[in-house]
């Protein structure tokens, strides 16, 4: 394990993915032990499947509970019903919510099937504010440097909004849907300002396919062309990486 600080971001590089995931889980448990009523921001995607699996296996032994926790997921596809096998509602139910003692009424995701997605996005932002903001926000990283579904070019002042997904993001998610044609092209996502307003942010990335995005985050300044570079503006941002993802910065 190597600890670095780059542009104000704490970076921890692990030799193996399991150790990286264990560190992320320990961050969560520390927050829940300090405040059992914490507000936690959650993410989806392949990166977080082992994260949620480890939580399901260890939370009782770790003596933490989710019954008083409030969660907000980063994003959801527009046009998918909650019970779609491809929705993030289904992903969260299968990977985490059904495995822990969370109160479902406190587990929030954007309403991608709402008749007016823009209004649903505004309501979601309002709900986050009414909860007092997010104490700990977990993030993955897209190959083009996106966080949430904030694609390159997204304003750093953006709040929760409806976004058009880039061709690269659609292709990256095609394996989950069967073909690119089946992937929704819009999503509701927390904005970059919403993410930066979290009191603490932890980004997870592993694998060589994330190495260019990590390199660009740290070598191209603070620029809207690399959304993850916005995290340099946060006072308490941590990147947990494996050695493959960090190969260009170590």
Residue 134: DSSP 8-state: -
Measure Cα distances from 158 to 163, 170, 197, 238 in Å. Answer: 11, 21, 11, 21
Residue 89 corresponds to which tokens in the numbers above?
A: 């509602």
Contact between 199 and 134 under an 8 Å Cβ cutoff? The reply is yes
Burial of 230 (0-12, 13-18, 19+ CB in 10 A): buried
C-beta separation of 21 from 50 below 8 A: yes
Residue positions annotated with a catalytic role: 75, 144, 146, 151
Contact assessment for residue 111 and residue 83, using Cβ atoms and an 8 Å cutoff: no
The token pair at 14 is 């692990």
């Amino acid at each position: 394990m190597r600890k670095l600080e780059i542009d104000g971001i704490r970076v921890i590089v692990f030799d193996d993915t399991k150790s990286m995931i264990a560190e992320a889980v320990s961050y969560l448990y520390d927050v829940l032990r300090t405040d059992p009523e914490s507000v936690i921001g959650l993410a989806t995607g392949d990166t977080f499947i082992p994260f949620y699996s480890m939580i399901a296996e260890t939370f009782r032994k770790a003596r933490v509970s989710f019954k008083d926790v409030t969660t907000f997921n980063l994003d959801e596809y527009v046009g998918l019903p909650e019970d779609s096998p491809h929705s993030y509602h289904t992903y969260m139910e299968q990977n985490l919510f059904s495995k822990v003692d969370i109160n479902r009424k406190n587990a929030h995701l954007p309403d991608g099937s709402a008749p007016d997605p823009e209004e649903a996005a505004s309501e979601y932002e309002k709900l986050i504010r009414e909860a007092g903001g997010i104490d700990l926000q977990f993030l993955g990283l897209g190959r083009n440097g996106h966080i949430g579904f904030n694609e390159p070019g997204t304003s750093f002042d953006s709040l929760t909004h409806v976004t058009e997904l880039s061709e690269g993001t659609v292709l990256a998610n095609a394996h989950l849907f069967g073909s690119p044609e089946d992937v929704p092209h819009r999503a509701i996502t927390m904005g970059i300002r919403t993410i930066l307003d979290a009191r603490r942010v932890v980004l997870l990335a592993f694998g060589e396919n994330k190495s260019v995005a990590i390199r660009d985050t740290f070598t191209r300044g603070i620029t809207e062309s690399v959304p993850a570079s916005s995290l340099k503006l946060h006072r308490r941002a941590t990147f947990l990486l494996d050695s493959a993802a960090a190969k260009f910065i170590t």
